[in-house]
Amino acid sequence: MEETRRRVTQILKGLDLSDPQQGQELLAVVYDELRQLARGKLLHERADHTLQPTALVHEAYLRLVDGRAVRWESRRHFFGTAARAMRQVLVDHARRRSAGKRGGDQEKVTLTTGLGEEVPGVADVIDLHDALEKLAANDPDLARLVELRFFAGLTLDEAADTLGISRRKVAKDWAVARVWLQRELGRE
């Protein structure tokens, strides 16, 4: 654990944004950490209380980064990465689940509870992911903003700082991004 922490802090301190290797390593570490946290969180969550991914990300930060040693900009970078990692974790998992369903369950009707009963009206995380990929092709900053908000739970101010843009601009962009998403997600 300590080892990991040291490594992560090191990466963040000396982060060379042009080195994809470092970015990948960081992503991998954060990814693992988030999954572990999710598993551990389960037992302590109350029934009906949704696991908050943003809480996970923040906790991951506390565990992985020595706050004193890194610069503030690095912290922002962490969250950017963590948001991406969180998104990846959730999408990977969702994909695995739906693959299982389509293939596997022979006894489709032998259940004691509503299997496959999706809560209607909830935007599927895979759909969101696909929409974001599309958005990123047109405007990567906008896509990153959405990612930071939903997967890392950053406030508009924090997102503005992470992206290096003004508060006014981020507010405008957030509105447009959601409108765009609405249209994209509304397409069946």
Partner 1 sequence: MTPDFRRLVELVGDALQRPTHERSAFVERACAGDAGLLAEARALLAEAEATSLDALTARIAAGVGRAADSLGDRARPHPTQVGPYRIVGVLGEGGMGLVYRAEQPPPLRREVALKMVRGDLRGEGSRARFDAERRALAAMNHPGVARIYDAGATDEGAPYFVMELVEGAPITAFCDDHHLDVDARIQLMVEVCRAVQHAHLHGLIHRDLKPSNILVSASDGPARPRIIDFGIAKALEATADIETMHTAFGSVIGTLEYMSPEQAAGGATPVDTRSDVYSLGVILYQLVTGALPFTASELRDAGPAEAQRRLRDTDPPTPARRYQTTGERDAIARNRGTDPRSLQRRLHGDLGWVIMKALEKDAARRYQAANDLAADLERLLHSDPVEAGPPSRRYRAARFIRRHRTGVAAAAVVLVALLAGIALATAGFVRAKRAQQRAENEARRATMITNFLTGMLAQARPEESHGREVTVREVVDSMAVRIDREKSFADDPVVQAAVIHAIAETYSSLDRYDQAIPLFKRAIALRRSALGDTANLTLGSLGRLSSAQAVSGDLRGALQTQKEVVALAEKAFGRENDRYSGWLGDLGNMYADVGDLPNAERALTEALAIDRRVLGKDSKDLPITINNLATVLVDEGKCVAAIPLHEESIAMRRRLYGEPSAEVANALGNYAKALTCAGRPQMAEAPARTALAMSATVFGPDHHRTATVRVRLAEALLATGRAGEAEPLLRESVRAFQAINQRHWRVGDARARLGQALIAEGRGREGIAELEIGWAIYTETTALAAPRSREIAGAIAAYYESAGDPTSAKHWKEKATSAPN
Task: Give the interface with partner 1 as residue ranges (CB under 8 A).
Answer: 35-36, 38-39, 41-53, 56, 89-91, 93-94, 96-97, 105, 107, 109-117, 119-125, 128, 138-142, 150-151, 172-173, 175-176, 178-183, 185-186
Residue number with CB closer to partner 1 (69 or 179): 179
Residue number with CB closer to partner 1 (8 or 56): 56
- Residue indicated by tokens 């948001």: 83
- Residue indicated by tokens 């765009």: 180
Q: Write down the least CB distance from residue 6 to partner 1, Å.
A: 25
Q: Is the dihedral of CA 124, 136, 151, 28 positive or negative?
A: positive
Q: Write down the least CB distance from residue 10 to partner 1, Å.
A: 27
Residue number with CB closer to partner 1 (13 or 108): 108
Q: Write down the least CB distance from residue 49 to partner 1, Å.
A: 7
Q: Considering only CA atoms, which of 165, 145, 10 is closest in space to residue 79? A: 145
What single DSSP character describes residue 112?
Answer: S
Residue number with CB closer to partner 1 (76 or 149): 149
Please check whether residue 59 is in contact with residue 86, taking contact to mean a CB–CB distance below 8 angstroms. no
CA-based angle 181:183:187, to the nearest 5?
115
Q: Is the dihedral of CA 124, 134, 165, 34 positive or negative?
A: positive
Q: Write down the least CB distance from residue 13 to partner 1, Å.
A: 30
